[in-house]
Amino acid sequence: MTGTRTFTEQDPIRVFLLDDHEVVRRGLTDLLDAEPDISVVGDADTAEHALSRGPALRPHVAVLDVRLPDGDGITVCRELRSRMPDLACLMLTSFDDEDALLDAIMAGASGYVLKQIKGSDLVSAVRTVASGQSMLDPATTARLMRSLRTEPAQTPSLPPELANLSPRERDILALIGDGLTNREIGKRLYLSEKTVKNHISRMLAKLGVQRRVQAAVLASHLDPQ
C-alpha cells in the first residue's frame, strides 16, 4: 500500500478469511463483523478455493491460515498479492515458527500473529495492516535477523540487488536489519527522519520489494562491519 488509509462504517475494511476449520472461520467472522468499520466479504477452507474466490471479492485484508490441507497460506499470500498488489495479508498460525515468519515476510505479508491472540488484538491487527502499516514490530524483525546471521548455511546467496545500493543505503539497510526505527537511524547517522524515509523509499525500489521487513531480511546478507 502506498499510504495510510482510513475506513468508516460507510467504507469498511473488506476482509477475506482462509482457514480449514469452519469453527474458526465462523468465530473470526462474528468477531470482525461486530466492528462497524470492518466487513467480512467471504471466506475459504482451502488454498484452491481462496485463489479462485478471493480476487473477485476485492478485499482490503486477507486473514490467512499458514497451514492448510492442500497447501499453505504463504503461497496463497504470494499469489493473491501478485493479482492484488494493494492487498494486505495477515498470517494466522498456531505455531511460533521463524521459518514460516521469514517466508511470510518475503511473500509480502503485512503481519503475522498467533491464533492465541486476543480478539481485541486481532481486530487491531486487521485495522493496522489495512491502514498500510506492518504488524511485524522491530523487536520481532531484529530477533529474526539474529537467527539468520547465526545460521549462515541456511542463508540464501547474496542478492544481486544489494550491489546497486549506495554506501549510505547499505548503512541504513543494516540498521533496519538491527530493528531500528527511522528516528533511531536518523540519530545514528546524523540525518533527519525525512531524509531517512526518502533513502528507504529509493532503497526499496532498488531491492524490488515493497515492505520494510522484506528489506530487513535482505539486510542479513550484508557483510558485518
Query: What pLDDT was estimated at residue 1?
Result: 40
Please check whether residue 140 is in contact with residue 213, taking contact to mean a CB–CB distance below 8 angstroms.
no
Hey, which residues does 65 pair with through a beta bridge? 92
For residue 55, pLDDT over 70 is answered with: yes
Per-residue confidence at 47, pLDDT binned at 50, 70, 90? very high
Measure CA of the first residue to CA of the last residue in the chain; give whole Å: 33
Hey, which residues does 67 pair with through a beta bridge? 72
For residue 54, pLDDT over 90 is answered with: yes
Q: Which fold has domain 140-219?
A: Arc Repressor Mutant, subunit A (1.10.10)
Q: Report d(CA 184, CA 139) in Å as an integer.
A: 14
Q: For 39-91, where are the alpha helices, taking DSSP H only?
A: 47-57, 73-83
Q: Report d(CA 109, CA 90) in Å as an integer.
A: 6
Q: Is 98 exposed, middle or buried (0-12, 13-18, 19+ CB in 10 A)?
A: middle
Per-residue confidence at 155, pLDDT binned at 50, 70, 90? very low
Burial 153-177 (b: 16+ CB within 10 A, else e): eeeeeeeeebeebeeebbbbbbbbb
Number of H helices, E strands in the chain: 10, 7
Q: Report d(CA 130, CA 119) in Å as an integer.
A: 17
Question: What confidence tens digit (pLDDT) does each residue in 111-136 have?
Answer: 888 888 889 989 999 999 998 888 76
Per-residue confidence at 108, pLDDT binned at 50, 70, 90? confident
Evaluate whether the domain defined by 13-134 bears CATH number 3.30.420.40: no
Per-residue confidence at 2, pLDDT binned at 50, 70, 90? very low
Domain locations in the chain as residue ranges: 13-134, 140-219
